Amino acid sequence: MTEAASLLSVMGLRDTQARYSLTLRVDRGQLVYLSGEEPAALSRAARLIAGRARPAEGAVWLSGRAITNDWPDAKRLSFVSGGAGPLFAARRRGESLRALGLSPEGLNDAELRFALRLAGALKARPAMLVADASAPTLGEGTRLRLLDAVRGACREGMGALWLAGGLAGAEKADRVALTAEGRVIQSGPLQELYERPLSAKAARMSGECILLDGKVEAVKGNRVLFITQGLDIPCRSDLWLAPGERATLFLRPEWLRWSRERVKGFSPPLPAQVKESAAGPDGLSLCFSLPGGQELPIRRAGYEGEIPRAGEHYDLWWDTERALLLPPEDEE
């Protein structure tokens, strides 16, 4: 996509410390959630994108016009961040917060300040919003309400880039971009990132996961026979793999099942022993130990079946259509 085709385009944006090099885009009516592991780096990136700081390299386009080293007016681009600053009078606070579905009661000063700034930015009806929510000051409920307000403005044509650590509220976004070591390692709908990560790091950033190292034994199309823990496991992969290559098997804990008897039509079972077992109001928490020593933590909310006990032996299995092979983590 060309710069002119997107509302906001960021190409190879690098700060003076060369800690990252960002490339991304935001289309009209789209909410993009940029997530990273370092709040300070995200905040710096937000300022560079919004023209509040000077980059060492790269460029930013807004509606096809270069705005690198520029400070766009609020009708074109509004920038919102946390930090110290004055608060409005009580009456103005209430009016502004009601527009976001919030009330002053129950908000700490940092939440109140960020919400008021966001309300002011949205009232200006900018073409593009850049919101730096990287500081861990927004409670989950507040964050969701604010993202709902931004999502509503996007439905009217505004583009928005929301920067934050973690993925709380990311389901509100059209697209999520994961950053690590200063670059976007994967972007797409949140569900796609959760089910089809491209690397072990993206798998970890998008949710709790299980990663098993091993090597490829045979390949036929996108079907692969994978060896781990001394077992041959059929799975699928979008990678170009050859027999003998190292790889990592990726699973989500909720995809795993356990039973005392083998189940046909699924993966060859992994023999495992229950190391820890705890049941409570929040559900069932288990930790299985594999023959090779690797531990697999599993949690089930609202579990009503037989509760495995510590020391018992089970077979673990999963739907082979869901498991993926990823590059070895040391080669990412």
Nearest to 79 by CA among 147, 178, 143, 162: 162
Q: What's 57's DSSP letter?
A: E
pLDDT class of 102 with cuts at 50, 70, 90? confident
Q: Binning pLDDT at 50, 70 and 90, where does residue 234 land? A: confident
Phi, psi (degrees; rounded to nearest 5) at 147: -65, -35
User: Cα–Cα distance between 310 and 128 in angstroms, integer?
Assistant: 55
Where is average pLDDT lowest: 29-38, 77-86, 286-295? 77-86
- The pLDDT value recorded for residue 156 is 95
First-last CA distance in the chain = 26
Distances 294 to 156, 270, 273 between C-alpha atoms, Å? 50, 12, 11
Q: How many CA atoms lie within 13 A of 110 on its CB side?
A: 12
Banded pLDDT at 129 (limits 50, 70, 90): very high
Predicted local confidence at residue 248, as pLDDT: 93
Amino acid at 163: L
Q: Which helix (H) or strand (E) holds 150?
A: helix 140-155
Q: Is the pLDDT reported for residue 24 higher than 90?
A: yes
Distance CA 102, CA 43 (A): 25
- What pLDDT shows up at residue 84? 62
3 pLDDT tier (thresholds 50, 70, 90): very low
Answer whether residue 2 shows pLDDT above 60: no
Query: 161 or 137, which is more confident?
Result: 161
For residue 184, the number of C-alpha atoms closer than 13 Å in the C-beta half-sphere is: 20
| Average pLDDT, integer, range 157-181 | 94
Mean pLDDT computed over every residue of the chain: 86
Provide the percentage of residues in the chain whose pLDDT is more than 70: 91
Q: Are 238 and 291 in contact (CB under 8 A)?
A: no
Angle between helices 90-98 and 109-123 (to 10 degrees): 70
Q: Give the integer Cα–Cα distance in Å for 184 and 253.
A: 25
pLDDT attached to residue 67 = 83
Task: Pinpoint the alpha helices (H) of 28-85.
Answer: 39-49
Stronger pLDDT, 18 or 228, i.e. the higher one:
228
Q: Distance between CA 226 and CA 218 in Å, rounded?
A: 7
Residues 323, 235: contact at Cβ < 8 Å?
Answer: yes
From 81, 77, 58, select the one nearest 8 (Cα to Cα): 77
Q: What would the pLDDT profile of 178-214 be if each residue is shown by its tens digit?
A: 998 878 999 999 999 999 999 999 999 999 999 989 9
The yes-or-no verdict on residue 319 having pLDDT over 90 is no
Quote the pLDDT of residue 306: 87
Q: Say what the pLDDT of residue 25 is.
A: 95
Domains observed in the chain: 3-205 (3.40.50.300), 210-331 (2.40.50.140)
Q: Closest Cα to residue 180, out of 31, 331, 329, 41? A: 41
Sequential DSSP letters for 175-229: EEEEEETTEEEEEE-HHHHHHS-SSHHHHHHTS--EEEEEEEEEEETTEEEEEET
* Token pair in block for residue 146: 């604010």
Specify the pTM. 0.88
- Interval 290-314 mean pLDDT: 88
Tokens of 7: 């509302």
Query: Does residue 76 have a pLDDT over 80?
Result: yes
